[in-house]
Chain A
Amino acid sequence: MSSHRNFGFYLLLAPLALWLILLIIIPQVNLAMLSLQERVGVRQYETSLANYRTFIEEPLYLMTFARTAVMSVLATVLTLLIGFPVAYYIAKMVRGRTRSVLFLLCLVPFWVSELVRTFGWMILLRETGVVSSLLQWAGLASGPVEMLYNDAAIMVGLVYTSMLFMVVPLVTTLDSLDDAVIEASYDLGGTAPSILREIVIPHAMPGIVSGCIVVFMLSLGNYLTPIMLGGKESLWFTELIYSQFIVRFNWELGAAFGFLLLFLSSVIVWAALRLSGQTLEKTMG
């Protein structure tokens, strides 16, 4: 019986092990090793930190890295500020059918690809776009207005694309807050701001953390939105990775960039989990 059971165990372990070892662990280690290679001649390589030195010494690379990080944090904060009232409304203000309908409406835009959503924003915001035409028609603008190809457009797109991943965990945690607790704090003299600060937000913390982590990661790793909605000046770090790999064919430098992106995203996720006392299994699972 025991050997029979062991056989079943290894049979179930095999696919998991193959998947994680061949597609996750070895490739990541391989990537790290490649990033430590310096090309010294034709097909000759040396182990060195040259690629990371290039990253630090080239202002464009460092600036793009910092800009991507800062804008991703900003996008996360904006998504939280915009999404929280909506999640609260769905979880606490409406009941029954309205509630399921509103919740479903929140999900709908995310069943279509990010490309379609971004395309929608391009149609709306560009010089010949819908918003520009409406402004001219209303007499608020004298000529065509270009609203695309700047950082604000990137922000609109990032917040839009990430909204679902903020609203869903927020609704789930706010839903588990008993209405009686809010009523009790009201009876004890709490005002809307104080109830929000002392009851609702502390209760919603797990949802806030998991929402923020996912939104931050998605923004940081986004490629489509910055490239389609951003201008020539607004470079995103993923664009640098793409151009080193596909355009310049400098895989060593590209691997270093990839590793830096992974590092940044892991550090921020880890810090957010530590600060809030959450674990990865609970947040994602």
Chain B
Amino acid sequence: MIPTIPRNRTATWAYNAYIGLFFLYLALPLVVVATFAFNDSQFPSLPWKGFTWDWFFGTAQPKLGVFYESAILGAVGTSVIVGVSVSLISVAVGTTNAFLFNRYEFRGKSALYVLMIVPLVIPGIVLGISILVFSSSVANAAWEGAALDLVALRPGLTLVVLGQFSFITTISTLVISARLKSFDRTLEEAALNLGATQLTAVRTVTIPYLAPALVGAFVVSFLMSFENFNTTLMLVGSDAPLTIAMFDRLKEGSTPLLNAVSLMLMIGSSLLALVMIVFQKR
């Protein structure tokens, strides 16, 4: 059961083998995706035709590399713009939410807290269609009532940002709240005693203390936005973020180009995760 209790040798061996198999199961899909990015063939499958960098740096069809494929690069740019916007708004609103729940007692607080968590338990696709329906009805009303064409409320990047923001904010609120709970408020009171105004005290004492959580919430929000699929699928217009663009390619049939993009994604998110770990340790 635990190392301090004598155990059956065979059982221990079987348990270790099971754990080994489990990690093999976890690693296998990622390893094959990464490996076939270097296969010198039109298809990401066996037989192995030799090693090549073409799927990254190839300059001509049929083996156009990632760095020369403008459609994919454009989609990465779109995803980054969406991700940064979503993270900025989510962290801002998450911070005000955390202060609200931490600093004030009011009627209906616990009900509001539950309501704040609800977006996490609504299926992403339902969030997507509900926002699509609502924004379309507002846009239609504006068009019929005042002949106003509210382009932002038609499927497109603004809606994608709003849709992702609607549930990612819950996560950033939880991350920032957790850190704010452990903050010693006497530090803020000391600043007030020394003549700081309320706002200065928060800005110079509390916010620096929250910094690791703010960075953490930003990175988590960015990654969630970057890899979101369900909500985005329902709200996307003509500019597709990367996950949607890759999905469209994959439906048509895959080439190792997609493996190369996937490998870049793996490297990118590992680096971000690393940045976050380093920041949390400080």
Contact = CB atoms under 8 A, between A and B. Distances in A.
A261 B125 contact: yes
A27 B133 contact: yes
Nearest to B163: A23
A85 B21 CA distance: 12
Contact of B273 (A111, A254, A265): A111
B187 interface: no
Interface in B238-255: 243, 246-247, 250, 254
A16 B112 contact: yes
Given A23-B162, A186-B5, A221-B126, A120 B32 contact: yes
A24 B234 CA distance: 16
B191 to A, nearest CB: 16
B124 A179 contact: no
A20 B270 contact: no
A266 B123 CA distance: 10
B26 A12 contact: no
B69 interface: no
Q: Range of interface residues on chain B?
A: 35 or more
B33 A28 contact: no
A30 B134 contact: yes
B129 A241 contact: yes
Interface in B7-43: 15, 18-19, 22-23, 25-30, 32-33, 36, 43
Nearest to B4: A183
A16 B96 contact: yes
Given A34-B133, A281-B114, A124 B28 contact: yes
Interface stretch (B56-64, B98-106, B205-213): B98-106
Contacts of B27: 109
Given A30-B133, A119-B262, A123-B45, A9 B104 contact: yes
Contact of A261 (B4, B45, B115, B123): B123
Contact of A111 (B33, B118, B126, B223): B223
A24 B119 contact: yes
Contacts of A242: 125, 233-234
Contacts of A55: none
A262 B3 CA distance: 45
Contacts of B158: none
A15 interface: yes
Interface stretch (A46-54, A57-65, A125-133, A201-209): A125-133
Contacts, number: 229
A258 B129 contact: yes
A125 to B, nearest CB: 10
Contact of B247 (A8, A115, A195, A241): A115
A102 B93 CA distance: 34
A42 interface: no
A109 B30 CA distance: 7
Nearest to B198: A8
A182 B45 contact: no
Contact of A160 (B3, B29, B258): B29
Contacts of A128: 43, 45-46
A280 B114 contact: yes
A108 interface: yes
Nearest to B171: A284
Interface of A: 8-9, 11-13, 15-16, 19-20, 23-24, 26-28, 30-31, 34, 82, 85-86, 89, 92-93, 102, 105-106, 108-109, 111-117, 119-124, 126, 128-130, 133, 160, 163, 179, 182-183, 186, 192, 195-196, 213, 217, 220-224, 228, 238, 241-242, 245-246, 251, 254-255, 258-259, 261-262, 265-266, 269, 280-281, 284-285
